[in-house]
Amino acid sequence: MSASPTIFVVDDDRGLLRLIEKALKRANFETSTAASGHDAIRWLTENRPDLMLLDLKLQDIEGRELINQLAAINRSVPFIIITGQGDERVAVDMMKRGALDYLVKDANFLEFVPDTVQRAMNHIARERQLAAAIAEREELERALLQASEREQTRIGQDLHDGLGQHLAGIELMSQVLEQNLSAKKLKTEATRAADIAKHVREAIAQTRLLARGLSPFVLESEGLVSALKELAHRAENVFRVKCQFHTAGKLTVSEAVANHLYRIAQEAVTNAVKHGKAKRIDIRLENTNGQLFLAVKDDGVGLPEALPEKRGIGMRIMRYRADMIGGTLAAERAPAGGTLVRCTLPANG
């Protein structure tokens, strides 16, 4: 790639084309040229300049049509419009279509060309830096989210395989103690040992629910349905609310999509209880007309009329998850009260 930016100039006035080329070369720009719209399209199908100067009124193709054709073949490039005097209104319209600036063919035209091009190149450089920063931030967010997923999975497995097994051992010892005490006809002590075993069993059940919430083991479409059913069951037991899960249509999703949808539903349920003070929550997953819908509706206090400028991290993470799987997420006040959170994506995700 050349160290200097490449400027592609398209103008059917060959004399003016040479003058523009000289002015740009004096300003240390590399140049390529085309004297017709068709030649420009042919050149652009094989080359990608940093910037294009485009005469608005070419003899074979109008500048507006040339831009449309480039967009149709996915060869769009940043461009500046060159126009005659009296056509400034058309040039402004082209700026609405994406032109970075425009140049008017007047007595000072050639003098303004290098500065206008440099200004456009500075703008392009800033846009590229911003795009790179956004891409870097998104990659960092993705890495942090994946790290969080791995840590949650590890904690869930430790709860299940570590603490759960220890509690199971304590339950067994309590049962043996109860049997020994009963054999010695120590009824009161045996009853207390039985109570200890009962409480340990309850602790084991809670540990398994926590482990399942941290590591739902969603591996396929059927696993997602099973995990969402268990999420509803766990919400009823832990939060003491009425929570139901409904499903409809054929569901075929990848492991990644299943995991993100589960986490979205999990966050929406938690928000419904924590912020919405809900007493009833409905989770629905369905495939309708080629679209997959996940909806979590509650009967809580609903969203405020004026949403805060900085929404909670939970909502931002849900939106980010939806974006990662090619979906969209919306949160709104439900018609009958409460909040409705919806995630929509193509059913073949």
Q: What is the pLDDT of residue 251?
A: 80
In the chain, CATH 3.40.50.2300 covers 6-106
Q: What is the pLDDT of residue 217?
A: 52
Q: What is the pLDDT of residue 21?
A: 95
How are beta strands 328-333 and 339-346 bridged, if at all? antiparallel
Query: What span, in angstroms and rounded, lies between the C-alpha atoms of 217 and 198?
Result: 28
Q: What is residue 298's three-state secondary structure? A: strand
Cβ atoms of 56 and 40 within 8 Å: the answer is no
Q: What is residue 88's three-state secondary structure? A: helix
Q: What is the pLDDT of residue 221?
A: 46
In the chain, CATH 3.30.565.10 covers 217-349
Q: What is the pLDDT of residue 307?
A: 56
Cβ atoms of 302 and 338 within 8 Å: the answer is yes
State the DSSP code for 335.
T
Q: What are the helix (H) ranges across the chain?
A: 14-26, 37-44, 63-72, 88-96, 109-158, 164-183, 187-214, 221-239, 255-274, 313-324
Q: With a cut of 50, list the residues of the chain below it in pLDDT.
A: 1-2, 218-221
Q: CATH number for the 6-106 domain, one of 3.40.50.2300, 3.30.70.360, 3.40.50.1220, 3.90.190.20?
A: 3.40.50.2300
Comparing CA positions, the residue from 306, 300, 303 lying closest to residue 331 is: 303
Q: What is residue 33's three-state secondary structure? A: strand
pTM, full prediction: 0.54
CATH class of 217-349: alpha beta
